[in-house]
Amino acid sequence: MPLPKHLPALGGMRFISALLVFTSHISTQPFFKNTEINSALQFPLNRLGPLTVSFFFMLSGFVLTWAGLPDRSKVNFWRRRTVRAYSLHLPVLLVTLLIVLALNEPNMGRSVWDGLLTNLLLIQAWFPDHHEYGSMNPVAWSLSCELFFYAMFPFLFAFLTKVRADRLWRWAAAVSAVAVCIPLVALLLPASAPLPWDPDMPQLRWWFIYMFPPVRLLEFVLGMLMAQIVIRGRWRGPRPLACVALFSAVFAVTFAVPNHYDPGALTVPVIALLLASVAVGDVRGVRSWLGTKTMVLLGELTFAFYLVHYLIIQYGHRFAGGKQGYYRQWDTPAAVGLTLLAFALALGLSALLHFFVEKPVMRTLGRPRRAPDAGSTPRSEPAPSGTP
């Protein structure tokens, strides 16, 4: 069976994941005066939101592997992926800087210029300091990881395509096992000051588990392996609904695991199975609501949505009357209305950025400089995930 160029259901999954990130960040700045509603939102979303980052990193590895290397030129590949990342990162960073300077309020409590250089160069995730990786537009730290993934991808792709097909599952299991054990490795790190927002988590340990690009590369590689499994016809895993049920069960178990372990690591193998199972459905021509035109379009907006949503939540809260702590609260109808307004603004702005900034930049600067080699045409030029 020939493999399809596009996997539309993954676009739908991309948007659902971005929506979970949005609701997770809404819960961290509680709009509701009703403390029961705030608690009900924060209890699952504070844990579910970070898991979507694992999905995005796996998705990035999966779709890049699915597309392959179109012209075997590492330089061309790196140029295109860098252009895609910066096509939206630069304008959003500029707007963020203007807001920070206008308010004279640094995002993490030091100078208004903190993190500007590392954000500009997209290296902030390499620094174990929340004044760096949490500065300016805090969600942009994941782009720092993505650029590292792009740098490594041609070499990883060349290696993984040579792994024997009957050993791919073993490799996937091994990478999953290492990812699950990373929080245990982090326990060996020296003591450090706690995070400002979590007194029970040392900052150095959190950075190593959640921000450090070589650690997050494990999820990217796992996504690449799952793509190879599907491409080479080695998929023998469960169907999507079974994967969802399995994820729900593992997710429930994470609430019984101590926070200092970072329970989200337990879900990494299950997220990989879910990603591959949905892709296999597309390969087999299974119709899914995730693959409808609307969901695919929303998936295309996800990169822009991801970059702007936190700024809209944070500074929208600020301009609506919150102090620098951004904790003004409203009655339930008003809080619901403000949440929907923030979502609508984020979606509308992401559409403008996608169609009038990202796509024109990619058409102008992101085209291959020479025709692809014969026989190496990609199945599809990968659209950006929540991270690019």
CA distances, 82 to each of 139, 261, 320, 384 (Å): 17, 34, 36, 12
CA atoms of 177 and 172, how far apart (whole Å): 9
Question: What pLDDT was estimated at residue 179?
Answer: 97
Share of the chain above pLDDT 70, in %: 92
pLDDT tens digit sequence for 41-91: 888 888 888 899 999 999 999 999 999 876 678 999 999 999 999 999 999
CA angle 233/13/301 to nearest 5° reads 125
Residues pairing with 195 in the sheet: 198
Question: What pLDDT was estimated at residue 378?
Answer: 47
Calculate the CA dihedral of residues 7, 57, 40, 270 and round it to 10 degrees. Answer: 70
Mean pLDDT of 4-14: 93
Q: Which of 79-93, 109-123, 320-334 has the highest mean pLDDT?
A: 79-93
pLDDT at 373 over 60: no
Model pTM score: 0.93
